Each structure stands twice: as structure tokens, then as C-alpha cells.
Amino acid sequence: MESDAIAELRTLYIFTPPDGQTWNLTYTALEAVLRRRDPDTFIRIDEGGPVTATSMDFGITLDDELLEAMALLQPEGVTVKDATARTAATFALWLRNHVIPAGAAMVFNTEWGVEDDLPDTPVPDATRPRVAAAFMDHLVEAGDLD
């Protein structure tokens, strides 16, 4: 598959701290970051119940594209739905710069990678093109696209 076609593939990207680490993520702090960015942004916190965990659904506009995302405290992480490698890279850099603690590590996987039992992969501490390239490499491996 051509790299341009791979770049346009959309899937769910999952961002978490590496095993044994935490970002000390809270819905309150994440909501504050989102509201500073856009006071009218969509945010819904589902309090869960005795069987289900809490979750936070939200919308965020990056690169003129409205993305749907979700955060969980247990297991800790943030997902972005239906994203290309480029928009997922923009989202990952936004997380790194505004949500997770400075210097904290971040790993990623995709819906496809989870289905294929691929391990979580570190998000490179790099520019958006390099992060997007790492995501595209993952898609090739997860989708058997070479």
C-alpha cells in the first residue's frame, strides 16, 4: 500500500503511560485544559456505577478537524477516535504539551494493534512528522499493509 493511502487510514489511537507509571490524570484537570482552549467544547463525564468505570468523552478541534476523544482514569489513558496518523500525532503532541506531566513518557497502540496483540510502543519525543511516521509504521505492522 502506498504511503499516501496509509496516511489517510483512520482508526482509534490509545495513549497511556508505560506500565508501572502514571500521569496522575484527573477529569477536573483535563476539563480545565480543554475549557481554556475552548470554553464551549463538548465534555461529558459518565460517573459509571457499581459495574462500569467512569469515563470522560470530549471533543477537540486540531488542524481544523473536530475529533472525538475519551479519557479513563482506570486504566489510565486517553483515546482519540477515527483519526489519521497525522491527526493522531497532533493529538499526541497536544497531550504531551498540555495534559501529561513534563517529562512523562507516553506509549500508544491502535484498535488494530490491540486486535493483533501488538505491544504498546513509545511515542517518539519528536516533531509531528516523525511521530506520524511512527504511527504509520505501526499501521503497516498492525494491518499487514506492506
Number of domains present in the structure of the chain: 1
pLDDT at 142 over 90: no
Residue 50 included in any domain = yes
pLDDT reported for residue 1: 62
Residue 140 C-alpha cell reads as 503497516
pLDDT reported for residue 53: 66
Residue 44 included in any domain = yes
Q: What is the pTM of this model?
A: 0.93
pLDDT at 3 over 90: no
Residue 45 included in any domain = yes
**Tens of pLDDT, residues 59-115:** 999 989 999 999 999 999 999 999 999 999 999 999 999 999 999 999 999 999 999
DSSP element (H, E) containing 92: helix 85-98
Which range of residues forms the domain containing residue 20? Answer: 3-141
Residue 146 included in any domain = no
Longest dimension (CA), the chain: 47
